[in-house]
Amino acid sequence: MLVDTAYLAAATALLWVALYYLPVGGPLFRLALPLPLALLQLRHGWRCALEGVAVTALLLVALMGPIRGPLVLFPYGLLALWLGWGWNRRLSWWLTLLLGAVIGAAGFLVRVAVLSVLVGENLWVLITSAAAGLLERVADLVGSNGVGLELAQVQAAALLLVLVQNLLLVFCLHAIALWIFPRLQAPIPDPPRALAPLVALDPP
């Protein structure tokens, strides 16, 4: 148990450092980040997973400082705890997917707030500007280019994009865990019938 905690916490910390400093592989690192700690919880329970999260945060504080290090908790540490807890209790994929997407979106907003303070610029404005550009393109495609966009609509669209992105991320985490974790003696619940064809390794 102690060895598993040390190795999996160190693996999570290394993935976080790689995500920050390596110029390539960002999407793969994001997909891999919650999995070691979720696997730790499946093997040894939630107390061991909490210890793994704490060890990861302490390692990253030593490596990256007291601000960037603990950001691994938002959302990856919390997401790992939720997914490990839900998979260990054999909860439905629908519940773990939806709540996981909410946790991911909330963690993203926390990171945006902290990084905005660090860089001295409101990064949410950049996100809403990107959402406004996307809505304008969609309006042009449907022939409604004369319709003005209100700030509330743009912010709602930005939040929806963040939520959809995190829903896709959590779904991919479920699929990867379904393929890999049984080989590590830590299977997760089977997918619902509606989602099974999307994650089958040998679809009919």
61 by Cβ neighbours in 10 Å (0-12 / 13-18 / 19+) ranks as middle
SS3 label, residue 120: coil
Closest CA to 37 of 29, 46, 28: 46
Question: pTM (2 decimals)?
Answer: 0.90
The continuous run of DSSP H or E covering 189 comes out as none
Taking each helix axis from N to C end, the angle separating 151-180 and 93-119, rounded to the nearest 10 degrees, works out to 120
Q: What is the pLDDT of residues 19-52, one digit of tens each?
A: 988 878 888 999 999 999 999 999 999 999 999 9
Q: What angle do CA 99, 103, 109 make, to 5 degrees?
A: 145
Contact 161, 112 (CB under 8 A): no
DSSP type of residue 121: S
CA-CA distance, 100 to 95, in Å (whole number)? 8
Provide the token pair at 149. Answer: 């966009």
Taking each helix axis from N to C end, the angle separating 46-64 and 35-44, rounded to the nearest 10 degrees, works out to 150
Provide the token pair at 76. Answer: 């990856």
User: Can you give the pLDDT of all 204 residues of the chain as single tens digits?
Assistant: 889 999 999 999 999 999 988 878 888 999 999 999 999 999 999 999 999 999 999 999 999 988 888 899 999 999 999 999 999 999 999 999 999 999 999 999 998 988 888 888 888 888 888 777 777 787 777 766 545 667 777 788 788 888 999 999 999 999 999 999 999 999 999 999 999 999 987 655
CA-CA distance, 112 to 158, in Å (whole number)? 13
Contact 162, 124 (CB under 8 A): no
